[in-house]
Structure 1
Amino acid sequence: MSQFAGCLISHEHGDHCKAIKDVLKAGIDCYMSPGTAGAIGIFHHRIKPVRAKQPFKIGSWSIMPFDVQHDVAEPYGFLLANEDGDKLLFATDTYYIKYKFPGLTHIMVECNYSNEILNENIESGRTPLFMKKRLLQSHFSLENVKEFLKANDLSRVQEIWLLHLSESNSDEKLFKEDIMKLTGKVVYIP
């Protein structure tokens, strides 16, 4: 843990901030929106609230938090840039990204579900209907990821990571092939 200069927290859901107490205990500053800090409810001198579209630095990285759309207090995505010209976009748990990002070299973005798979699962009863509304208003679909990628200049992108795939409403192989075909880039799914 001593090699970490900081920790970025996108929002307060447990699967995104579960280890915050351990991270703080290890002496690592945690950066998040004021809304996320309040929702987490931990008061600690290493919790650093940051504002959307106001850059800050951690080590040699300049970080620009930006607002995303999710069903929580004040979620963020992050654009990280270093002096070597690397630009990493990280965005998860959002159904839409309203910004364009010039000069990206790496993309880590949620690709939670496919509308087609979700609808098939609802029809067959594998996924309850109420889940559809929540997914549509809180998570990035394959279709919206494609639109986001088309809207951005990918000429410098070296790799794309698809994150946060749904266990039942996604298809890892299909998603990877679709994004590779669309972008011509290397695609990873952790």
Structure 2
Amino acid sequence: MKLTVIGTGSKGNAYLLENEEEALLIECGVNIKAIKQALDFNLRKLVGCIVSHEHGDHAKSIKELMEAGVNVYASAGTHKACGTTSNHRASMIMADVEYQLGNFKIRPFDVRHDAAQPLGFLINHSETGNVLFLTDTMYSPYTFRNLNNIIIEANYSHKVIRVKLQKMEFLKNRVMESHMSLDECINCLNANDLSQVNNIVLIHLSDGNSDEKLFKDEVTKATGKTVTVADNGLQMNFNKTPF
């Protein structure tokens, strides 16, 4: 299995899990052209797209994907906020229910974000094992068993944001109440059993309130795992084991 980062960060998020036979799109917050290019214009390979919430940097191309024949899976609240509820390609999914998309199994769960009905995802495939996808939440009250790969938000540093946004109290509070800090990312990771984890991929780093090298070093030191900071265009092997 290969992970492709089509886009990450406040300008747009979209991630692709793909092997020779099928692909799963996670988020569609970039231009539809970028998604098509990442798939070599073979949208029929997609078993579907899962969307965490309605904000534009995660759902920008939701309607265009449906028009192109792709089924989009999101909460009822997200579809309502996107104006896609009546589209026959819109599939309403609920937390704590398992869904089968091709050979991918998806189990959504609730997250804490300023959106209508946001979700995180536990994704399983025989090649990747259990993949945790967690973004746009201030923290996670859940722990997960038997994780093999993790894609997780590390949006900002408390130290950086207090300095840069000291005169912008509303913006500072909004970020801190809806996104995961580096410290909380590390707390979340360490609350889980990481013994079988192969990769940790840090996503959605803030352009102005983060430090890529610091974040990678701190998470590596805290977990002892292989840590990669996502960047647009990144491609990497994303298998259950490194072999």
| Same fold flag (TM > 0.5) | yes
The percent identity for this pair of structures is 44
Cross-structure match for 1:169:
209
Residue of structure 2 aligned with 1:32, choices 61, 65, 74: 74
Q: 2:171 is aligned with what amino acid?
A: M
Residue 135 of structure 1: how far off its partner (Å): 1.1
Instruction: Report the Cα distance in structure 1 between the residues aligned to 2:120 and 2:151, rounded to whole angstroms.
Output: 10
Q: 1:87 to 1:114 in 2, by over 3 A?
A: same
Q: SS state of the match for residue 5, structure 1?
A: strand
Whose strand proportion is higher, 1 or 2?
2
Partner of 2:34: none
More helix by share: 1
Q: Name the residue aligned to 1:14.
A: 56
Cα 1:121–1:85 shift into 2, 3 Å:
closer
Could you tell me how far 1:22 is from its partner in structure 2?
2.0
SS where residue 72 of structure 1 aligns?
coil
1:112: which partner in 2? Answer: 155
SS at match of 1:70: coil
Aligned to 1:49: 92
- Letter matched to residue 37 of structure 1: H
Displacement of 1:82 in angstroms is 2.1
2:139 maps to a residue whose letter is: Y
Q: Quote the Cα distance in structure 1 between the aligned partners of 2:143 and 2:54.
A: 25
User: Does structure 1 conserve the Cα–Cα contact (< 8 Å) formed by 2:150 and 2:201?
Assistant: yes
2:107 aligned partner: 64
Distance of 2:78 and 2:138 partners within structure 1:
18
- Which residue of structure 1 aligns with residue 47 of structure 2? 5
- Runs of 4+ deviating beyond 4 Å: none
CA distance in 2, matches of 1:20, 1:174: 34
Q: Which runs of 5+ in 1 are unaligned?
A: none
Superimposed CA distance per residue, residues 73-122 of structure 1 (whole angstroms, 9 cap, x where no aligned partner): 00000000124570101111111111101111110011100111111213
Deviates more, 1:140-149 or 1:128-137: 128-137
TM-score, structure 1 normalization: 0.95
List alignment gaps of at least 5 residues for structure 2.
Answer: 1-42, 231-243
C-alpha displacement of 1:130 = 1.4
In structure 2, what is the Cα distance between the partners aligned to 1:165 and 1:152? 22
Q: What is residue 92 of structure 1 aligned with on the other side? A: 135
Deviations 1:26-76 (A, max 9, x none): 211100011101111123101000111111110111110000000010000
Classify the secondary structure of the residue corresponding to 1:48. Answer: strand
How many corresponding residue pairs? 187
SS in 2 for 1:180: helix
Q: Are the aligned partners of 2:151 and 2:201 in contact in 1 as well (CA < 8 Å)?
A: yes
Which secondary structure state, in structure 2, belongs to the residue aligned with residue 22 of structure 1? Answer: helix
How far, CA to CA, are the matches of 1:83 and 1:160 in structure 2? Answer: 18
